[in-house]
């Protein structure tokens, strides 16, 4: 009996020393480079597992994605059918994380790394701890979480979270995504400097940005969500967030249909000089420099997420994510 009590006491000590976010959770690994993923119905509540890699949801209920990287659990939430995403416990300006198979992945996702010096003037600090790759063609509010390892105190001195917001990489720079701290976080408690979450103020098409992380103002006041004229409205009346401080030409660049199966087309208000399709490993799969109006034949591409780079006649390149379904 005494031996059993000693064993139980030792287990209590070990569990006390564990991060409560990771205790009793089993890690599932997927191949990030091959875009392997675990799929859950949106009605699921995942409490026993974390996924070190990509997670996909089917259904339109708000779903908490149990994403992790190297034992760091950092969930995000969305409510659009088909949304897929992964968490990277790495500096987005480097974009390299280790593989469960050994060694490191190359910079991921396609388009990484994401420079910390390329940013809008109203973006002050940028997280050096983590980022998310979130994909999807249907608008949804996006919620990102943080915990002690996120180092939010470096973004929000004195614990002032009102200066912190979500930022997205638009293909060439980081831009502010108006967002609000959640009163009740994805972890279940009140959001505070050491643990919490925040949600975009409006629905956004996840493919709008290549990566997401946290940023902060350097000024004394935080810019709040813009007025009605700063948003777009979809055909079903859903408000879709417009990326801030992008040029009008970049805003008018669209790749469609998305998801696609056989052929994709590009709408751009400027003349197109060249277009290319790049896979998740950064390889250029398709490159065309004429007959754009006929679109790009993608029928031979395997299902997955790709990056379409569009260069205009002035040398400016705009990038858009696209999903190929089979």
CATH number of the domain enclosing 253:
2.60.40.760
Same domain, 217 and 259: no
- 302 phi and psi angles, rounded to 5 deg: -65, 155
> pLDDT-derived band of residue 1, with 50, 70 and 90 as boundaries?
low
Tokens of 129: 């701890």
Are 231 and 285 contained in the same domain? no
| 221 and 256 housed in the same domain | no
Residues 205, 259, single domain; the answer is no
Residue 222 has pLDDT above 50, yes or no: no
Residue 223 reports pLDDT greater than 70: no
Do residues 52 and 36 make contact, with C-beta atoms less than 8 angstroms apart? no
For residues 298 and 207, membership in a common domain is answered with: no
Give the pLDDT band (50/70/90) at residue 134.
very high
Task: Indicate whether 183 and 118 sit together in one domain.
Answer: yes
Query: How far apart, in whole angstroms, are the C-alpha atoms of residue 253 and residue 319?
Result: 9
- C-alpha–C-alpha distance, residues 304 and 56, integer Å: 12
pTM given for the model: 0.72
Place of tokens 């940028």: 126
In contact, 80 and 136? CB cutoff 8 Å: yes
Q: Quick one: pLDDT band at residue 127, thresholds 50, 70, 90? A: very high
How is 147-216 classified by DSSP, letter by letter?
A: -GGG-HHHHSGGG-GGGEEEEEE-SSSEEEE-EEE-SB-TTSSB-BTTBEEEEESSBB-GGG-SEEEEEE
Tokens representing 45 are 């509540």
Domain count across the chain: 2
Beta-strand pair 84-88/54-58: antiparallel
Q: Which residue segment(s) compose the domain that 297 sits in?
A: 248-324
* Residues, the chain: 326
Rounded to whole angstroms, the Cα distance separating 152 from 197 reads 11
Residue 50, pLDDT > 60, answer: yes
Whether residues 9 and 127 share a domain: the answer is: yes
The tokens describing 3, both together, are 């031996």
Same domain membership, residue 31 and residue 118:
yes
Domain final position from 208, 241, 274: 241
253 lies in the same domain as 203: no
Tokens 């007025």 correspond to what residue? 227
Average pLDDT over residues 230-250: 41
Kindly state the average pLDDT of the residues 156-183. Answer: 92
What is the distance between the alpha carbons of residues 203 and 180, in angstroms, rounded to a whole number?
Answer: 13
Average pLDDT, the chain: 82
- In this prediction, residues 72-85 reach a mean pLDDT of 97
- Report the alpha-carbon angle 91-96-101, nearest 5: 135
Query: Do 126 and 258 share a domain, yes or no?
Result: no
237 pLDDT more than 70: no
The domain boundary residue, chosen from 224, 241, 258: 241
* 258 plus 207 within the same structural domain: no
- Asked whether residue 243 carries a pLDDT value surpassing 80, the answer given is no
Kindly report, residue by residue over 262-321, the tens digit of the pLDDT. 888 887 655 788 888 988 767 888 988 877 777 888 889 988 888 888 888 877 778 888
The model's confidence at residue 45, banded by pLDDT at 50, 70 and 90, is: very high
* Other CB atoms within 10 A of residue 232 CB: 16
If one compares 206 and 276, the residue with the highest pLDDT of the two is 206
60 and 121 housed in the same domain? yes
Q: Which of 220, 241, 262 is the endpoint of a domain?
A: 241
Lowest mean pLDDT: which of 10-19, 35-44, 89-98? 10-19
For residue 13, what are the CA distances in angstroms to 5, 26, 72, 134? 12, 20, 21, 37
Beta bridge partners of 64: 77
């Amino acid at each position: 009996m005494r031996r059993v009590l000693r064993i139980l006491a030792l287990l209590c000590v070990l569990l006390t020393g564990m991060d409560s976010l990771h205790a009793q959770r089993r890690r599932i690994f997927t191949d990030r480079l091959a875009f392997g993923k675990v799929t859950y119905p949106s009605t699921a509540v995942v409490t026993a597992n974390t996924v070190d890699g990509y997670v996909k949801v089917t259904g339109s209920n708000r779903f908490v994605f149990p994403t992790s990287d190297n034992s760091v659990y950092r969930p995000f939430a969305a409510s659009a059918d088909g949304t897929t995403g992964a968490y990277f416990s790495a500096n987005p300006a480097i974009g390299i994380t280790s593989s469960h198979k050994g060694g490191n992945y190359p910079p991921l996702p396609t388009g990484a790394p994401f420079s910390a010096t390329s940013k809008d003037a109203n973006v002050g600090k940028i997280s050096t701890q983590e980022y998310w790759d979130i994909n999807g063609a249907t608008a949804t509010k996006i919620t990102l979480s943080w915990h002690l390892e996120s180092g939010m105190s470096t973004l929000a001195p004195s614990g002032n979270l009102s200066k912190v917001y979500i930022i997205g990489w638009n293909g060439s720079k980081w831009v502010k995504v108006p967002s609000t701290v959640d009163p009740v976080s994805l972890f279940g408690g009140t959001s505070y400097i050491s643990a919490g979450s925040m949600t975009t103020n409006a629905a956004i098409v996840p493919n709008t940005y290549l990566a997401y992380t946290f940023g902060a103002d350097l000024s004394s006041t935080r810019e709040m969500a813009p007025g009605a004229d700063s948003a777009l409205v979809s055909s079903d009346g859903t408000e879709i967030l417009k990326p801030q401080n992008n040029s009008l030409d970049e805003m008018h660049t669209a790749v469609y249909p998305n998801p696609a199966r056989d052929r994709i087309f590009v709408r751009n208000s400027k003349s197109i000089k060249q277009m290319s399709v790049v896979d998740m490993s950064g390889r250029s799969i398709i490159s065309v420099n004429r007959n754009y109006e006929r679109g790009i034949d993608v029928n031979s591409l395997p299902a997955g997420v790709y990056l379409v780079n569009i260069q205009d006649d002035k040398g400016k390149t705009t990038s858009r994510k696209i999903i190929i379904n089979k």
